[in-house]
A = this chain, B = another copy of it.
Amino acid sequence: MDRMPNVPPASGLPRRDQIRKEAARLFAARGFLGVGVDEIGKAVGISGPGLYRHFAGKDAMLADLLVGISERLLEEGRRRADGSEGPAAALDALIGGHVDFALDDRDLITLHDRELLNLREEDRRTVRRLQRAYVELWVDVVRQAYPPLAAPTAEPVARASVHAVFGLINSTPHSHGPNPAEVAERAGLARGLLSYYFD
């Protein structure tokens, strides 16, 4: 019986990373439940069941993607905030970092808030915890950067402002292609939104 040969990755990426990338692309385009494992396999040049050598299952792929992006957002956000001098610079660093993610990992940003409900309960808790910590980081920095928001009663306002900035930046992939000028504009808008509280 003749069978298809075992052909190596052929790309520079390790197979596991290649799977991550293609799965993210497909999930973003048609939703987690709208994509079959055979299709993911075909995208990386292997058969569907072949994926099980690299991930425990389809659920595990989604969990890997969402936990990964959440961890990297938080980690990089902390690194940038800590490496900045003063709250204003920290805020600029956070904005820049988030914009970078929205550009480089556009698919993951899309999945990040759309496919949470397809995670196993435990993974969902993990991701939510990371997301919460990331928001907390932003809220702290914003309240330091804009003293009026430091008042206890202004906490919900600060939180809502942060969500508005996320919505603004994250809507980039939603609209047109990766237009750097437009993205820079959005970063400027984000600063503008927050600087409103200076008046």
Residue in chain B with minimal CB distance to A115: B31
Query: Across the interface, which residues of B come within 8 angstroms of A185, CB to CB?
Result: 156-157, 160
Ranked nearest first, the 8 interchain pairs of A and B with the lowest CB-CB distance are A167-B167, A33-B33, A164-B168, A196-B196, A163-B171, A193-B193, A192-B196, A160-B189
A residues 141-199 touching B (CB-CB < 8 Å): 156-157, 160-161, 163-164, 166-168, 170-171, 174-175, 182, 185-186, 189, 192-193, 195-197, 199
Which of B34, B175, B196 contacts A163 (CB under 8 A)?
B175
Residue in chain B with minimal CB distance to A31: B117
Chain A interface residue count, Cβ-Cβ cutoff 8 angstroms? 32
Is A47 at the interface (CB under 8 A from chain B)?
no
Query: Across the interface, which residues of B come within 8 angstroms of A182, CB to CB?
Result: 156, 160
Is A118 at the interface (CB under 8 A from chain B)?
yes
Residue in chain B with minimal CB distance to A114: B114
Which of B30, B113, B118, B196 contacts A193 (CB under 8 A)?
B196
Query: Across the interface, which residues of B come within 8 angstroms of A113, CB to CB?
Result: 174
* Distance, CA A33 to CA B30, complexed state (A): 11
Is A29 at the interface (CB under 8 A from chain B)?
yes
